């Protein structure tokens, strides 16, 4: 009874409507998730989980709805690399012990992608907003919706996409318009050509950080926010609350979600202690 009451309070708090039949099904998922959160928090892990608005979603549903980088479809890990230049920070040696581009004014406030697999668009925009602020000293919130609606040659809007392709799109179209002009809808809409043809920030190319190299990631992030893909398909990521995610639940492998890396803190003796993720 107490779990059912908790479920009803949770639904009321998050204003989630369910039919009677759906509630019975979702309550079983909710119970499983509550137990997982409770059992995980009893363990000596460097992070805590917390019940949130995803409380009655299965991990697979969460993955489908919110982790939309579509890496397998685009063969990101094994396919052709499309970067337009070599790694420009390869010869950087002296690195600061920590970097946080949020504190330096190069990261916009957290945005909400909603129930749309558009994290690839948000990840792309984080990087473009960041380098633009670093170069111009002006932080402009750019339009993820333009990428969702208009970058559809290979990317698939709310069904997933790839950041490399989005960077190419921005370059070829002459830039990206602002979020104010082309606001986010969390759904696949028809491309608004008038808004698309009003870019406010442009790029001349993009580069890939060498794979499996913490040093190269630190070199890149020390100079600008970086677009990254993360394995966010686990239940721990679904209910992550605070502290650091480590191990197989945090580092990029069979990546299913995207975000921006906006800083890091180095460990004693070199290497990464943790990275700061600009999640949306």
Give backbone dihedrals phi and psi of 47, rounded to 5 degrees, phi first: -150, 165
Q: At CB < 8 A and 24+ separation, what contacts does 10-13 make? A: 10/51, 10/55, 10/56, 11/56
Calculate ∠ Cα 29-30-33, nearest 5°.
90
In angstroms, the CA 146 to CA 234 distance is 29
Fold (topology level) of 61-278:
Cathepsin B; Chain A (3.90.70)
Cβ atoms < 10 Å from Cβ of 245 = 20
Q: Provide Rg for the chain, Cα atoms.
A: 20
Nearest to 111 by CA among 122, 127, 103, 100: 122
Burial class (CB in 10 A: 0-12, 13-18, 19+), 185: middle
In angstroms, the CA 81 to CA 205 distance is 13
Nearest to 268 by CA among 107, 99, 101, 98: 98
pLDDT of residue 69: 52
Q: Per-residue confidence of the chain (280 residues) as pLDDT tens digits?
A: 699 999 999 999 999 999 999 999 999 999 999 999 999 999 988 889 999 999 999 998 887 776 655 545 444 444 455 555 688 999 998 898 888 999 999 999 988 888 888 889 999 999 999 999 999 999 999 999 999 999 999 999 998 889 999 999 999 999 999 999 999 999 999 999 999 999 999 999 999 999 888 889 989 999 999 998 776 667 888 888 865 444 433 332 223 344 566 766 665 555 555 566 665 5
**Could you give the 3-state DSSP secondary structure of residue 151?**
coil
Nearest to 168 by CA among 76, 253, 83: 83
List CB contacts of 67: < 8 A, sequence separation 6 or more.
117, 119, 232, 233, 256, 257
For residues 61 and 32, is the Cβ–Cβ distance under 8 A? no
Pair of tokens at residue 155: 């990317």
List CB contacts of 3: < 8 A, sequence separation 6 or more.
27, 30, 31, 34
| Beta partners for residue 272, in sequence order | 266
List CB contacts of 244: < 8 A, sequence separation 6 or more.
46, 47, 250, 274
Q: What is the pTM of this model?
A: 0.74
In angstroms, the CA 113 to CA 184 distance is 8
DSSP per-residue letters across 125-146: HHHHHHHHHHHHS----B-HHH
């Amino acid at each position: 009874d107490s779990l059912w009451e908790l479920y009803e309070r949770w639904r009321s708090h998050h204003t989630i409507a369910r039919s009677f039949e759906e509630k019975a099904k979702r309550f079983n998922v909710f119970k499983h998730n509550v137990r997982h959160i409770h059992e995980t928090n009893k363990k000596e892990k460097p992070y805590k989980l917390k019940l949130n608005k995803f409380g009655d979603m299965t991990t697979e549903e969460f993955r489908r709805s919110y982790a939309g980088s579509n890496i397998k479809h685009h063969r990101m890990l094994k396919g052709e690399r499309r970067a337009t230049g070599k790694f420009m920070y390869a010869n950087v040696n002296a690195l600061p012990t920590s970097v946080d581009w949020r504190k330096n004014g190069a990261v916009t406030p957290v945005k909400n992608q909603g129930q749309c697999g558009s994290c690839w668009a948000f990840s792309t925009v984080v990087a473009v907003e960041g380098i633009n602020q670093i170069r111009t000293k002006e932080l402009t919130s750019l339009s993820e919706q333009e990428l969702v609606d208009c970058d559809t040659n290979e990317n698939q809007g709310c069904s997933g996409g790839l950041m490399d392709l989005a960077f190419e799109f921005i370059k070829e179209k002459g830039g990206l318009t602002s979020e104010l002009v082309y606001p986010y809808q969390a759904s696949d809409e028809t491309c608004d050509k008038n808004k698309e043809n009003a870019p406010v920030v442009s790029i001349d190319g993009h580069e890939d950080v060498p794979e499996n190299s913490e040093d190269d990631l630190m070199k890149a992030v020390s100079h600008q926010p970086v677009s990254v893909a993360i394995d966010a398909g686990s239940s721990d990521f679904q209910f992550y609350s605070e502290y650091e995610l480590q191990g197989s639940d945090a580092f990029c492998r069979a990546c299913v979600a995207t975000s921006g890396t906006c800083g890091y803190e180095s460990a004693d003796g070199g290497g990464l202690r943790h990275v700061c993720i600009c999640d949306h």
